[in-house]
Amino acid sequence: MTITEIANAAGVSIATVSRYLNKGPVKEETRKKLEGIILKLNYVPESIAHHIVNSPTQSIVVLTHSLSNYYTMEFAETVNEEYTKRNIAYYIGCSTNISTEYKYLMDLISRGTDGIIIHDPAMDQTQVDIYNQISENHVPIVLVHSFPIDFAYNTITVDQNIGMKKAMQHMLGLGHKKIAFVRGAIGYSFDLKEHIWRDEVKKSGVEPEKEDCLKISNSDDETGVAQTHKAVIDYFNTGNRPSIIFTCNDIMALGTLQALHELGLSVPDDISLMSHDNTVISTALGLTCVDMKTRSVAKGAIDLLDYAMHGNDTTPRHISITPELVLRTSVIYAK
């Protein structure tokens, strides 16, 4: 079904149909006729052809590395709310590693996507040239929680240093000495958190034990829960008795909770638990945690993208949001 067919059916030229479609000046009579025909023929414009001549495609996409993660989803959802309001087509792509991220990016720019938000980009410093290649194709991109590097993109992150420091000071301040630290195996933000954990423990005068740092190989979905569960059980079975456990995300908190329950330890009476991200899981379970302020981050990302898409100033901007502690009932004084 093309514009030509409906032009023929109406006995007018394709230009008139196009004008009608684009709300240009058309005589009332013609308008009525076209309206009827389009309805009857069930015509849907081929936007692909529209956009080959009229560049913006009215589409924004968020690329993320995981779908089964509340923290990611809360981000995607906030963005969705905004673009739904604006009536622009918004889609989510999920790239689980560097190579699919690259493929997605190529697909998106070749599709003429108007703007791209990459949440937790998989690429790091060694792949900067790829980002540069993309930037040469003039697609506005904003990086959310990217590795820290000064390059030609708009970026927004929460300052995880501050968040983690606040968390450590909170725990240490309550008298905790042996703080188990549960992290994912690979990832810049895990490294950063571990570093601060190590640092602050040291500063408090005790030497961080190697075994107190538990690395979970898969951490986003129920297998992450299971892996954490196992790691925590093993950790206790080796004789470790921390007064508090800190988990780098809520999925790990879930696995930890499960393990604790199995070990007959209740939170916070027998042991404290602190988490990170403040997803619905922390809310629901009453876990004290670091709030990633996902909604603020999402709003900021949208602002940056607006700026990149519509502003006339092309210098990249960088936003850093300060995370805050959410105090609930899962952390109490060390016994």
Partner DNA sequence: ATGAAAGCGCTAACAG
Partner DNA sequence: CTGTTAGCGCTTTCAT
**How many chain residues interact with DNA (CB under 7 A)?**
26
> Among 284, 310, 313, 315, which residue interacts with a copy of itself (rule: CB under 8 A)?
284
Please tell me whether residue 288 binds DNA under the rule CB under 7 A. no
Q: Beta strand pairing status for 324-326 and 288-291?
A: antiparallel
Closest approach, Cβ 20 to DNA, in A, equals 8
Measured in residues, the chain has a length of 335
Integer-rounded Cα Rg, in Å, for the chain is 26
Please tell me whether residue 136 binds a copy of itself under the rule CB under 8 A. yes
> Among 8, 9, 30, 78, which residue interacts with DNA (rule: CB under 7 A)?
30
Please tell me whether residue 15 binds DNA under the rule CB under 7 A. yes
Please tell me whether residue 67 binds a copy of itself under the rule CB under 8 A. yes
> Among 41, 49, 185, 280, which residue interacts with DNA (rule: CB under 7 A)?
49
CA quadruple 85, 89, 94, 100: dihedral, nearest 10: -140
Please tell me whether residue 314 binds DNA under the rule CB under 7 A. no
Of 14-22, 61-69, 206-214, 317-325, which segment contacts a copy of itself by CB under 8 A?
A: 61-69
Using CA atoms, how far apart are residues 2 and 24, in angstroms rounded to an integer?
A: 19
Of 50-58, 157-165, 268-276, 290-298, which segment contacts DNA by CB under 7 A?
A: 50-58
51: closest CA among 3, 136, 112, 120? 112
Joined together, the tokens standing for residue 307 give 């700026």
* Count of CB atoms situated within 10 Å of the CB of 101: 22
Answer yes or no: are the C-beta atoms of 245 and 232 closer than 8 Å. Answer: yes
Closest approach, Cβ 280 to a copy of itself, in A, equals 4
Please tell me whether residue 109 binds DNA under the rule CB under 7 A. no
The values of phi and psi at residue 144, to 5°, are -110, 125
Signed CA dihedral, 300, 302, 306, 308: sign only: positive
Please tell me whether residue 46 binds DNA under the rule CB under 7 A. yes
Closest approach, Cβ 28 to DNA, in A, equals 7
> Among 8, 9, 45, 165, which residue interacts with DNA (rule: CB under 7 A)?
45
Name the one residue in this structure whose structure tokens are 């302020």: 293
Please tell me whether residue 54 binds DNA under the rule CB under 7 A. yes
Please tell me whether residue 48 binds a copy of itself under the rule CB under 8 A. yes
> Among 8, 9, 14, 317, which residue interacts with DNA (rule: CB under 7 A)?
14
Closest approach, Cβ 258 to DNA, in A, equals 52
Residue 57: strand, helix, or coil = coil
Answer yes or no: are the C-beta atoms of 278 and 248 closer than 8 Å. Answer: no
Please tell me whether residue 257 binds a copy of itself under the rule CB under 8 A. yes
What is the residue-wise DSSP string for 136-185?
TTT--EEEES-----SSSEEEEE-HHHHHHHHHHHHHHTT--SEEEEEES
- Whether the upstream peptide bond of residue 268 has omega within 30° of 0, thus cis, is yes
Please tell me whether residue 12 binds DNA under the rule CB under 7 A. yes
Q: Which residues bind a copy of itself (CB under 8 A)?
A: 1, 42, 44-49, 51-52, 57, 59, 61, 67-68, 70, 73-74, 76-77, 80, 84, 87, 89-94, 96, 100, 103-104, 106-107, 109-112, 133, 136-137, 221-222, 225-226, 251, 254-255, 257-258, 261, 279-281, 283-286
